[in-house]
Amino acid sequence: MPYTAEAPTRRESNEELRARIPGWGADLDPADRPAVPRERFAPEVTGAHWDFPERQEERVPRERSIEHRFLTPVFGTSAPLHGVSGAIRRFAYEKFGEGRAAHWLLLIAGDRVDAVGSHLRSVLTLRPDNPVTETGVVSELRRGGIRSRVGRGRADVKHGWIDPLLIAGFWVFTGIVAVAVVRSIGKR
Partner 1 sequence: MMPDTRVGTTFGHEFIGVVDQVGPSVQNLKAGDRVMVPFNVYCGSCYYCARGLYSNCHNVNPNATAVGGIYGYSHTCGGYDGGQAEYVRVPFADVGPSIIPDWMDDEDALLLTDALATGYFGAQLGDIVEGDTVVVFGAGPIGLYAAKSAWLMGAGRVIVVDQLDYRLEKARTFAHAETVNFNEHNDIVVHMKKTTDFLGADVAIDAVGAEADGNLTQHITSAKLKLQGGSPVALNWAIDSVRKGGTISVMGAYGPIFSAVKFGDAMNKGLTLRMNQCPVKRQWPRLFEHIQNGYLKPNDIVTHRIPLEHIAEGYHMFSAKLDDCIKPIIVAEAS
According to CB under 8 A, which residues from 77 to 96 bind partner 1? 77-79, 85, 89, 93
Identity of the residue, 54 or 124, whose beta carbon is nearer to partner 1 in the bound complex: 54
Closest distance to partner 1 from the beta carbon of 127 (Å)? 15
Closest distance to partner 1 from the beta carbon of 3 (Å)? 8
Closest distance to partner 1 from the beta carbon of 178 (Å)? 22
Query: Rounded CA gap, 78 and 75, in Å?
Result: 9
Q: DSSP E strands: which ranges in the chain?
A: none
88: burial class by Cβ within 10 Å (0-12, 13-18, 19+)? buried
Letters for 130-159 (x = contact with partner 1 by CB under 8 A, - = none) are ---xxxxxxxx-xxxx--x---xxxxx--x
Closest distance to partner 1 from the beta carbon of 123 (Å)? 14
Identity of the residue, 14 or 177, whose beta carbon is nearer to partner 1 in the bound complex: 14
Tell me which of 40, 59, 183, 187 binds partner 1, using CB under 8 A.
40
Tell me which of 5, 15, 43, 185 binds partner 1, using CB under 8 A.
43
Q: Judge whether 43 and 35 are in contact, CB under 8 Å.
A: no
Phi, psi at 126, each rounded to 5°: -80, -10
Half-sphere exposure of 133 (CA within 13 A, CB side): 4
Query: Rounded CA gap, 102 and 110, in Å?
Result: 12
Say whether residue 174 binds partner 1 (CB under 8 A).
no
Q: What is the 3-state secondary structure (H, E, C) of 66-121?
A: CCCCCCCCCCCCCCCCCHHHHHHHHHHHHHCCCCCHHHHHHHHHHHHHHHHHHHHH
Say whether residue 11 binds partner 1 (CB under 8 A).
yes
Tell me which of 5, 22, 59, 124 binds partner 1, using CB under 8 A.
22
Say whether residue 31 binds partner 1 (CB under 8 A).
no
Identity of the residue, 61 or 175, whose beta carbon is nearer to partner 1 in the bound complex: 61
